Amino acid sequence: MAGAALLGRLTWQPAEVVEVVTETDRVRTLAFDVPGWPGHRAGQHVDVRLTAEDGYRAERSYSIGSAPDGSRIELTVERIEDGEVSPYLTDELRPGDTIELRGPVGGYFVWEPALGGPLLLVAGGSGIVPLMAMLRVRAAAGSNADARLLVSSRSWDDVIYREELDRLSGNGLRVVHTLTRSQPPGWTGHARRVDAEMLAEVGPGPAERPRAYVCGPTPFVEIVAGALVGLGHDPVAIKTERFGPTGG
C-alpha cells in the first residue's frame, strides 16, 4: 500500500530548504522541512514544482534519499548541465527558500525491512539515491539482512554518499565500487563498467533468490538487468528504475 496515496489526492505542499550538502562537484543533497509529511517508503519519489514570477511552472520527479524522519525529507540531485530544473535545485536553492512538492509516490520500486534479504542493489551514478534510502531504512531498523550494493561511478570523487557508505558497511552489508573513467593511485577495485562477471562476484547468486533493485541511466539499467537475467536471476525479482539523458 502506498501509504498516504490512499488517503486522497496528493496535494502540493510548501517545502522549506533547511540544509544543503555538497556531495560531489555535480551533486547536492537538499533537506526540506515539509510540515505534515506523512512518511514514505524507501524507493519512493516526490514531484517537485518550481514557479517563476510570471507564473511559469516546471515540474520534475526526484527520488527520496532519506529514511523517514518526521517532517524532514532529503532529495539528492545531480546537475544536468542543460537541464531546466536541476541546475536551479543544485546551484540556486539555499536554506530558507521554499519550493513546492507532492508525494510520496510509487508503490513498486520500494523495499522495507519486513521484506528481508538477500538484497542486491546496483546503482549507476545518481541512481544510488533511492537505493540509499533502502540502506538507511535498513540501518535504522537494525536489520542485518544480507545486502550487497554495487555502485558504478565515474571516479572516486564522483561517488555519492561515499563516507556514509563506508560507515554503513558491515552488519550484513557489503559495498563494492567500480570506477569507470578514472581511478585514484593504488586503486585495486573494479575499474570498468558493470558486467555479468562483476555482478556474479558481488552476488548473491540466483540460487539465493535475492531481490534486485537496479537504478541508473537507461543504458546502464538495460545492461545490468539484462546481465542479471543472463546469470539466471528471476526477471520478476528484478526491479528497475531508469532516468533518461534528458531529465533536467
Partner 1 sequence: MSIVSRGFRGRRDDGADPARIPPGQYLTSDFPVLSAGPTPHTPLEEWTFSIVGEVDEPRSWSWEEFRALPSEEVTVDIHCVTKWSKLDTVWEGVSVDTLLEGIDTTAEYVLEFAEGGYTTNLPLEDVTGGKAWIAFAFDGEALAPEHGGPARMLVPHLYFWKSAKWVRGLELRATDEPGFWETNGYHDYGDPWREQRYWGD
Q: Write out the residues near partner 1 by the rule CB under 8 A.
A: 2, 5-10, 12, 14, 47, 49-53, 56-61, 84, 88, 92, 97-100, 105-109, 218, 222, 225-226, 228-229, 235-236, 238-240, 242-248
Q: Closest separation between CB of residue 100 and partner 1, Å?
A: 6
Beta bridge partners of 16: 33, 98
- Residue whose C-alpha is closest to residue 216's, from 66, 23, 78: 78
* Minimum CB–partner distance for residue 29 and partner 1 (Å): 18
* CB-nearer residue toward partner 1: 28 or 177: 28
Instruction: Give the nearest distance from C-beta 203 to partner 1 in angstroms.
Output: 18
Please report, to the nearest 10 degrees, the dihedral formed by the alpha carbons of residues 170, 150, 162, 189 taken in order. Answer: 90
Per-position DSSP letters for 180-237, written without gaps between them: SS---TT--SB-S---HHHHHHH---GGG--EEEEEEEHHHHHHHHHHHHHHT--GGG
Closest approach of partner 1 to the CB of residue 33, in Å: 14
- Cβ-contact 121, 199 below 8 angstroms: no
Nearer to partner 1, 53 or 163 (CB): 53
Q: Which residues contact 2 (CB under 8 A, 6 or more apart)?
A: 41, 44, 104, 105, 106, 107
Rounded CA gap, 232 and 229, in Å? 5
Give the C-alpha separation, 116 to 187, whole Å: 33
- Cell 554503513 found at: 168
Q: Give min distance, CB of 186 to partner 1, in A.
A: 36
Integer CA distances (angstroms), 196 to 9, 119, 155, in order: 42, 17, 21
- Compare residues 45 and 177 and give the one whose CB is closer to partner 1: 45
Give the integer Cα–Cα distance in Å for 71 and 38.
Answer: 8
Find the shortest distance in angstroms from Cβ 63 to partner 1.
Answer: 12
| Residue number with CB closer to partner 1 (159 or 227) | 227
Q: Which is nearer to partner 1, 110 or 165 (CB)?
A: 110
Query: Of the two residues 47 and 112, which places its CB atom closer to partner 1 in the complex?
Result: 47
